[in-house]
Amino acid sequence: MFQTENKSFETRSFQSPDLLPEEHRTSDRHEPPPRRQKVLSCFFIVLILLITSCTTIVARSNSNFFVGVKNGFLVRQLTHLFSKDTNLLKGEKEDRINFLLMGIGGPGHDGPYLTDTIILASFKPSTKEASMVSIPRDLIVPTGQGSFMKVNHVYALNQKKGLEEAFRVTKSVIGDTFGVPVHYMGVVDFQGFIELIDAVDGVTVQIDRSFTDYQFPAGPNSTQKIAFEAGTQKMNGTTALKFARSRHGTNGEGSDFARSERQQKIILATKERVASFNTLLNPLKITTLFGLVNEYTRTDIEPWEIVKLIQMTKDIDANKIYNTVMDDSSGYLASGISSADGAYILQPVSGNFFQLQSLVQNIFEDTQLKQEAAKIVIQNGTPVPNAASAVAQHLDQAGIKTLTFGNADKQNYLRTHIYEYTKGEKPRTLAFLQSWFGVGAERNLPVELLPYTVARDLDLKDEKGDYRELDFLIILGEDLKERGSREIIRTLTPEELTSTTTEAFPTSTDSLFVETPDE
């Protein structure tokens, strides 16, 4: 847990099991959350933002900020803001709005349009939950027609074709890779990051552990030493950028995981400052913020959508913001070196993106899974040692506790079996298990697999000495390595991993998917 602006945020690290041997794998004070403040009516806040944003847009006449601006832009914003029939955000009807947030160096930096920060953020309107998934910039992603490249190159290579095309392709590649639609996208450069934080008088961040970075960039071919002490610290824009970008910190802060955690802290702290009433009540600050956003940010979310989004998220509970970081220590990814140019790369351990897709798609199910508290037994029906233990570890990270795990009656099961005892009373857990294992649950059970029989054979008793009531029995089979009958991305070859083809980026990556036959 870490704290920012007197609020605690939960950082969740999902881990995926190595199911097969390597040769077979392709503060301040702590106070109660404040009650909803009624100082200003919702209409007044919206009106302030609307007037300011429209004034800024008209005054600057800069259509570069809003990617894809068409004729009748201002009229459309007013129509959406005051019409109940046309004011749904993209994804709102489906109860999940996804945003792609990217940070770049900008002009004057080496690789000015390479994305240094990549975060897939989501908001669930019905429960007021939000999530941020940090994507490592060195991850290899499919870009269509059999080509792969580092994810941080996708925007840069297509930026030359214009912002609309760069946004379209980047959203498509990220969406197809992780199996969710990307509704909106925003790109900000480092200078804008600095000035934005300075404009809101800095941010307060809880630093979990002290660290020093002796190799922080100080300009062309030079470095500088930076250091941070554990504890609560008020940071200006320059300091916050250094804190977020440091790559070679001591004391465990040199990993991509640690770096992504720091970036998420800064983003959340900035959100708190921007959405505070001290900011919203200050016309000068609002005008300054819109000017900075207009100069340093590019987005395809329109002003009326920004206004509505602020209104929807301004009262979000900090405990309902979930943070996840992908890196090679999570079990999902393996690191390597490109044979083409010696570059450091990350790729899925399994040779496909199923586990990463499951993580992103089920990001909001953690709380519901914990509430159901399903009682699960896992048995290894394969010759692979410790497979049941590894699966139990993954389920635990996802919020599902396993009562016990061990070997099945035999180790030659071809298929994984999910035996359900709940009669549909644990729907979230059932859906998660079926999705993750790629098989349907079975309810017609032989006598030896009835819940009482299993509990008796395993001597599973509660505190009263009675045999436990079980919810699910999972027997792992050989199909686990491919998650049976799921569409998966075929295993990447070394040649494909080093491909840097930039031609013919399609709208989707459907050509990469192949059917896995049933057993």
Structure confidence by residue, pLDDT tens digits, 409-440: 889 999 999 999 988 888 888 888 887 788 88
Phi then psi for residue 497, to 5 deg, are -65, -30
User: Residue-wise over 304-332: b if at least 16 C-beta within 10 A, else e?
Assistant: bbbbbbbeebbebebebbbbbbbbbebbb
Phi, psi for 292 (deg, rounded to 5): -65, -45
Structure tokens at 94: 């489906």
pLDDT tens for residues 352-402? 787 788 788 888 876 677 778 889 999 999 988 888 888 887 777 666 888
**Per-residue b/e over 119-158, b at no fewer than 16 CB within 10 Å?**
bbbbbbbeeebbbbbbbbbbbbbbbbeebbbbbbbbbbbb
Query: Taking the domain 366-481, which CATH number applies?
Result: 3.30.70.2390
% residues pLDDT > 90 (the chain) = 22
Domain with CATH 3.40.630.190 in the chain: 2-13+37-353
Read off the pLDDT of residues 324-347 as tens digits, 9 standing for 90 and up: 878 665 567 777 776 666 778 888
For 296, 370, 380, 439, 485, the CA distances from 435, given in Å and listed in that order, are 41, 17, 19, 7, 11
> pLDDT tens-digit profile of 110-163?
677 788 889 999 999 998 989 889 898 889 898 876 778 889 999 998 988 888
| pLDDT more than 70, % of the chain | 71
Question: What residue spans in the chain does CATH classification 3.30.70.2390 cover?
Answer: 366-481
**CA 427 and chain centroid, separation:** 24
Q: Is the pLDDT of residue 501 over 60?
A: no
Rounded to whole angstroms, the Cα distance separating 418 from 440 reads 7
pLDDT tens, position by position, 175-221:
999 999 999 999 988 888 899 899 999 999 999 899 999 999 887 77
Q: Which fold has domain 2-13+37-353?
A: Aminopeptidase (3.40.630)
Interval 81-92 mean pLDDT = 72
Per-residue pLDDT for 492 more than 60? no
**Could you give the CA distance from residue 432 to residue 400 in angstroms, rounded to a whole number?**
10
Q: What are phi and psi of 290, to 5 degrees?
A: -65, -35
Orientation angle between helical segments 256-274 and 190-199, nearest 10 degrees: 40
